[in-house]
Amino acid sequence: MGARVGPAYAYGSFILSTVLAFVAALAVLIAVHEWGHYQMAVACRVKVLRFSLGFGRVLWSRRLGADGCEFAVCWIPLGGYVRMLDSREASVAPALLSRAFDQRPLWQRSAIVAAGPLANLILAVLLYAGAAIWGTQEPRALLASPPPGSLAHTAGVRAGDTVRAVQEASGEWAAIRSLADFHWHLTRAASQSQDLWVELSELSGSRTRQVKLELSTQSVSDLDAAWLRRIGFSAPFTEPVMGDIRPGGPAEAAGLRAGDRVLRVGPTVIADAAQLREIIRQSGAGGSPVALSWMIERQGQTLDVSVLPRLVKGPQGESMGRIDASVGAPAMQVWVRRDAAEALSYGLDRTREVAVLSVRMMVSMLTGLASLRNLSGPLTIADYAGQTAQKGVYAYLTFLALVSVSLGILNLLPLPMLDGGHLMYHLFEWLSGRPVPPVWLERFQRGGFVLLLMLMSVALFNDVARLLGLH
């Protein structure tokens, strides 16, 4: 008798895969970061006492190498550290004094501190390159009907337009491989308050034209899926065909079936699924659902049906309609893959662009131009780790690369307790000719701990809000 696999089992399996994917991501990113510190310390002839993954009680340890460095794994997997010989922390034998961290030249100490974030950035290059070599199926850059009044609609984008190329800041045109590629160029241009020229071809491919997207006029407080939908570029073009019909919903009550093609809603000719979804959504905008007269095609016959959507609340608390059915045929896919040389160049470019975008976003959050809701914590990262692991190798490698860049940039922030804070201490020492006084070091450490605690609290609040659907 076969075992019955129910929703509880599937949910438990997803939770397990999420935890494993999250732990694996943390282990890789932390190990690489600390390995950067360790290797630079060894290269500068500093004696390393312990290389630890995690904090707290030691679960496993072993001494390796000529110096007998202790490699350890501890039970709190939210970080790691490299402990080096340092005469400021304990007495050091005269024979080993030259190998103490604090006795090495300033440039070597700075190189050791910077090596951790640099290792994360190098890892991101390799991960992006690996993902590009592996390849993936992505939706074609085939655009859906933009909502009336959106940026895309104003620019003259129509259902079925294919994005061929975009003009970069250098003035050169870059070919667009997929919808995700186009979304990346949109986000980058918007984050830099730059307009974007786009070359489009019609669905038939018979004619091409260029349109200007005035992204410099758009608010960029949240560069997410909602922002893409607001400007008219959230979804790929799909045929207006009904998919799964959920039992007991408005679509079933109206007699709709999977495979029905929607031709009209009222007097409006339906060009694609995005247009139909927007009409359904707007049917509840007035606070009460409005019945819609649909003309559909089913097995060669034309039928008229009346559909009364039910009223729901959107992510921002707005009223919207829903029919409890999948709307739209599967999007057309394209295989995106690069050779080794192209992939390495892609990895370098993408890492640089993500790093610059991350810095700009951090500055925007500090200055109030971007919402603090963009700040994510471990729960969101764990959720994304599980989702990307389910989607396959490409998605998971890309996720790891993104987090690795973020970790590298975050650690370079000039905050005490982070690598960037220690680099600021070294800058002060270089400018003044003397190290930061111990009393000030203690004060900076306390202040840095409070700032980090505040950032972690905001990130955790955002995580919980996202999980509860409040963001």
Separation CA 157–CA 190 (nearest Å): 18
Say whether 392 sits in a helix, a strand or coil: coil
User: Quick one: tokens of 178?
Assistant: 């997929």
For the chain, what is the radius of gyration of the CA atoms? Answer: 27
User: Of the listed 34, 172, 342, 429, which one is catalytic?
Assistant: 34
Own/partner pairs, 366-369, CB within 8 angstroms, 24+ separation: 369/220, 369/221
First to last CA, the chain: 45
Angle (deg, nearest 10), helices 438-467 and 419-432:
150
Separation CA 215–CA 183 (nearest Å): 13
Separation CA 284–CA 275 (nearest Å): 15
Count of CB atoms within 10 A of residue 337's CB? Answer: 15
Which residue type is seen at 406?
S
138 is known as an active-site residue: no
Separation CA 382–CA 387 (nearest Å): 9
Which residue type is seen at 258?
A
User: Quick one: tokens of 253?
Assistant: 């009550």
Closest among 251, 245, 319, 255 to 289, alpha carbons compared:
319
Catalytic amino acids? 34
